[in-house]
Amino acid sequence: MSIPARIKDDLPFLTSLRRDLHAHPELGFEEERTAGIVARLLEEAGITVHPGLGGTGVVGTLQLGNGSRRIGLRADMDALAMPEMAERPYKSTAPGKMHACGHDGHTAMLLGAARHLAATRNFSGTVHFIFQPAEEGRGGARRMVEEGLFKLFPCDAVYGLHNMPGLAVDEIAVVEGPQLASSDSWRMTFRGTGTHGAKPHLGRDPITAAGTFLSSLQTIVGRVVDPLQPAVVSACFLRAGDPKALNVIPDIVEIGGTARAYSSDVRNQLETEIGRLAQGSAAMYDITVDYAFERRIPPVINDADATMRALAAAGSVFGGKVQTSFPPSTAGDDFAFFAQNAPGCYVWLGNGPAVDGALHHNTAYDFNDEALGYGAAYWVALVERELKV
Ligand SMILES: [Zn+2]
Ligand SMILES: [Zn+2]
């Protein structure tokens, strides 16, 4: 185990910073206070600051020596729209808002690493500290990319980190391949010809077509997708007719749902197959269907080379406590948009046991301050190894 002495000395500051962020949670694209603190601390450390990228996003850039390699480190800053139910001295002061995913810890750890690296100056190259807004479903990463993140701050590799309850604080999981699922939405409208419920032969019934579609939907995962490839399709929305008009066959039926996959091939397959079933069901009943598949978040898939580099850094801090086999999460993380622009690696940092069973997005969840030193040390090790003097 090696946490640099300077980071250990900084832990009281990082702990109070983390708790201050916890007490003042801000939702996606509203992280004004948080972004202000991030920008001020980066500036105080002598790091060049670019605020306001992607709304409330902040990028700090530290370039040293003549090394040409450039890497990006990501921390997310946003909280969730949910109340904090646990009592703690630094409990949320914002009603209905809470840091229940530990992004307060992510922000504090990356700031800790930035302060250390700016003081010790023990690397040669460029590191971009990327503080992104709105990770929790509001599209912060995509917006930063659209506003030119990688044109302004080109990266040869990008790295992400998320806290993980269940892993000890001196453990980290660094695994090549899929880490988080894609998260996409689909919707369709079956369009028939409404008619009297007693005279179906005079119309075209979209409800029966929709029923055929729904009863076949799970055959995509069961019969079409490779059984060794995880995939989920779920219909989550259904609307047709009126419960007050039980003798009316309606004109339209609307259906919507979600699709999850861990590879772009399966993701493409789900988009195609859901549409094919919809078209086929409509054709069976001689009606039409409008189908739309909305690509929200790609899967996070760790690049082999970036993972090797992350493993080496993790090994220097966590020794034998590096897990190289760890199950992927069915959740999504829009870090995936960064990893589409440069080889990426996303790691899971131990947050200790789940206190009272509270996991991510639970009203009692809390980032574990014991993890601050390990996370900051991992970032520092990654930079000093990636950008060797
Ligand atoms: Zn979350
Ligand atoms: Zn999160």
Q: Are residues 47 and 163 in the same domain?
A: yes
Q: Are residues 191 and 258 in the same domain?
A: yes
User: How many whole angstroms from 19 Cα to the centroid of ligand 1?
Assistant: 18
Structure tokens at 351: 């947050």
Q: CA-to-CA distance for 62 and 129, rounded, in angstroms?
A: 8
Residue type for position 110? L
Residue 136 assigned ligand-binding role? yes
Q: Are residues 306 and 292 in the same domain?
A: no
Q: CA-to-CA distance for 66 and 25, rounded, in angstroms?
A: 39
> Scanning the structure block, which residue is given the tokens 């990006």?
72
Q: CA-to-CA distance for 298 and 181, rounded, in angstroms?
A: 7
| Main-chain phi, psi angles of 349, to 5 degrees | -95, 130
**Residue 91 in contact with residue 84, Cβ under 8 Å?**
yes
User: How many whole angstroms from 183 Cα to the centroid of ligand 1?
Assistant: 13
User: How many whole angstroms from 111 Cα to the centroid of ligand 2?
Assistant: 17
Q: Are residues 11 and 119 in the same domain?
A: yes
**Residue 163 in contact with residue 349, Cβ under 8 Å?**
yes
CATH of the domain at 289: 3.30.70.360
User: How many whole angstroms from 359 Cα to the centroid of ligand 1?
Assistant: 10
Give me the pLDDT at residue 341, please: 97
Q: Are residues 17 and 100 in the same domain?
A: yes
Domain that holds residue 333: 5-180+299-386
Where among 268, 297, 326 does a domain terminate? 297
Q: Could you state, in chain order, the average pLDDT of each consecutive group of 10 residues for the chain (389 residues)? A: 91 98 98 98 98 98 98 98 97 98 98 98 98 96 98 98 97 97 96 98 98 98 96 96 97 97 96 98 98 96 98 97 95 96 98 93 97 98 96
> Which ligand gives the minimal distance to the CA of 77?
2
Calculate the alpha carbon distances from 177 to 70, 155, 340 in Å. Answer: 22, 20, 14
Give me the pLDDT at residue 1, please: 55
Q: CA-to-CA distance for 50 and 37, rounded, in angstroms?
A: 13
Residue 361 assigned ligand-binding role? yes
> Which ligand gives the minimal distance to the CA of 102?
2
> Which ligand gives the minimal distance to the CA of 82?
1
CATH of the domain at 349: 3.40.630.10
User: How many whole angstroms from 86 Cα to the centroid of ligand 2?
Assistant: 19
Q: Are residues 278 and 379 in the same domain?
A: no
Measured at the alpha carbon of residue 110, what is the angle toward residues 182 and 311, in degrees to the nearest 5?
65
User: How many whole angstroms from 136 Cα to the centroid of ligand 1?
Assistant: 6
Where among 241, 274, 297 does a domain terminate? 297
Q: Are residues 311 and 277 in the same domain?
A: no
Q: Are residues 170 and 316 in the same domain?
A: yes
User: How many whole angstroms from 348 Cα to the centroid of ligand 2?
Assistant: 11
Give me the pLDDT at residue 330, please: 86
User: How many whole angstroms from 11 Cα to the centroid of ligand 2?
Assistant: 22
Q: Are residues 168 and 212 in the same domain?
A: no
> Which ligand gives the minimal distance to the CA of 360?
1
Give the torsion sign (CA, 145, 147, 148, 152). negative
Q: Are residues 282 and 207 in the same domain?
A: yes
Q: Are residues 11 and 140 in the same domain?
A: yes
Give the chain's domain count: 2
User: How many whole angstroms from 103 Cα to the centroid of ligand 2?
Assistant: 6
User: How many whole angstroms from 207 Cα to the centroid of ligand 1?
Assistant: 37
**Residue 299 in contact with residue 262, Cβ under 8 Å?**
yes
Residue 22 assigned ligand-binding role? no
Those residues whose beta carbon sits under 5 angstroms from the ion ligand 2 are 101
Q: Are residues 145 and 290 in the same domain?
A: no
Whole-model pTM: value is 0.90
User: How many whole angstroms from 331 Cα to the centroid of ligand 1?
Assistant: 8
> Which ligand gives the minimal distance to the CA of 104?
2
Where among 297, 320, 352 does a domain terminate? 297
Strands 70-76, 125-132: pairing kind? parallel
